[in-house]
Chain A
Amino acid sequence: MDNSLAVVWPALLDGLVTTVAVSLSALPLGAPLALLLAAAGRGGRLLRSASAFYVSFWRGTPILVQLLIVFYFLPFLGLELEPVVAATLALALNTAAFQSEIYRAGLQAIPMGEREAARMLGFSASQTFLRIEAPQAFRIMLPALVGEMQALVKNSSLVSVIAVTDMARRAQQVAASTFRPLEAYASALVLYVAVGAVLAGIGLLIERRLAKGVGR
């Protein structure tokens, strides 16, 4: 028992680096596409339905299946990517759909009157967006974005299925080599939950900082 834990933890921490790297990079990678989708959702009929179709598909199908489709489909496009790159790409395409809903709701939450008032006061359209709408929307969206980040960490465990040596895969390897699946998987679960808790804590810190000087 003591010996097996001594083997399990270094392996898991090694995998944790990949887990954090993959999920932390998927979030910003998906953001531009999410913003495009949210903008398209406010556009004409064709753009709106294209955006709705994308969001519905990526929200309506399992991430595991999405990962496998992306992983197997890329070679058809002539792209021979490392599994870890394909995995990050699949997670980014997935989170884009979820993030677009967050951005859409966040921007909707800002009263129309504020934009009108800013324009009246002589702000340009881009100034209005950058100085009035975006900062407020960000504060509103932050909890949802932290939630999405936590979901990404959790979902990233599935990349082990396409041979990425993340924490879940390291847990499997070490469970097989030590014949101690209980210790290996329980420890990995604890670490996943801990990463989620740390993210939630960071989110709360940022939220509190942003709330400073806002009378609400």
Chain B
Amino acid sequence: MTSGFLSDLPLYASGLLTTLTVSLAGIALSVGTGIVLAAALRSPLLYISLPIRLYVEFTRGAPLMLVLFLIYYGGAQFGLVLNPYVAGVVGLGLYGAGAFAEIFRAGFNAVPKGEIEAADMLGLTPGQAFRHIELPQALGLTLPPSIGQAINLVKESSVLSVITLAELTKVAGTISSITFAVVTPYLTVALLYWAIVESLSRLGFYLERRLAVKGY
């Protein structure tokens, strides 16, 4: 049993690496898309904000597994053949972007208009006002929910196993099918996910404290 566990270590390690890579890529894609969607949500033009609103609501109710199936298997139906990595990251990114859009929208709304006007009065260009006044405050305000959403995406990345991507959850399945030990592999990967999630939330607390001292 113990020797089996040791010989499985490289498998766990590669699964962990894949989980970390796809989660990071998925989070980056979600944050980037989320910022663009947040800007669109704040648009006064209904034909811009309404479709984006629908998209955001859609991602809230849609299970990631079916989003992945749609991209991975549905895409192939009209010739869009993606490898599991790409399909997984794109799926995770599009799925996560909805929540990030809401987070950033709220963050930008929370910065008082008067500050932008004051910055304009003081001779800052709109770009400078955005970079030095609006963005730092919005980022500080949105940090706790952003960390929460990043944690969600790490956990949701386990669903990428259903499109055959060899991340942690898939690795646990592979090991249990070879060794017939079912509980140990899944408990092991659960502990690994838990460690990632705990580290992320600690990082969040640390950043929150740093930003709080600097900005306010």
Contacts and interface: CB of A to CB of B under 8 A. Distances in A.
A189 B61 CA distance: 8
A27 interface: no
B62 A61 contact: no
A143 interface: no
B183 A171 contact: no
B169 A158 contact: no
Interface in A174-199: 175, 180-182, 185-186, 188-189, 192-197
B161 interface: yes
A66 to B, nearest CB: 7
Interface in B146-189: 151, 155-159, 161-162, 169, 172-173, 176, 182-183, 186-187, 189
Contacts of B183: 69, 72-73, 76
A154 interface: yes
B197 interface: yes
B186 A68 contact: yes
Contacts of A76: 183
Nearest to A158: B65
Interface in B25-74: 57-58, 60-63, 65-67, 69-70, 73-74
B108 interface: no
Which of A168, A180, A182 gathers the greatest number of chain B CB atoms within 10 Å? A182
A175 B169 contact: no
Given A181-B77, A182-B74, A196-B60, A64 B161 contact: yes
A171 B57 CA distance: 22
B120 interface: no
Given A68-B172, A158-B159, A181-B77, A60 B186 contact: no
B52 to A, nearest CB: 15
A127 B16 CA distance: 52
Contact of A154 (B63, B151, B161): B63
B115 interface: no
Complex A-B, nearest 4 residue pairs according to Cβ-Cβ distance, in ascending order: A196-B61, A62-B158, A157-B63, A182-B74
Given A62-B158, A62-B159, 7 more contacts: A62-B169, A66-B190, A150-B61, A157-B63, A182-B78, A192-B66, A193-B57
Interface of A: 56-57, 60-66, 68-69, 72-73, 76, 150, 153-155, 157-158, 160-161, 168, 171-172, 175, 180-182, 185-186, 188-189, 192-197
Interface of B: 57-58, 60-63, 65-67, 69-70, 73-74, 76-78, 151, 155-159, 161-162, 169, 172-173, 176, 182-183, 186-187, 189-190, 193-194, 197-198
14 contacts: A60-B194, A62-B169, A65-B193, A68-B173, A72-B176, A72-B186, A73-B182, A171-B66, A171-B69, A181-B69, A182-B78, A185-B74, A188-B66, A192-B62
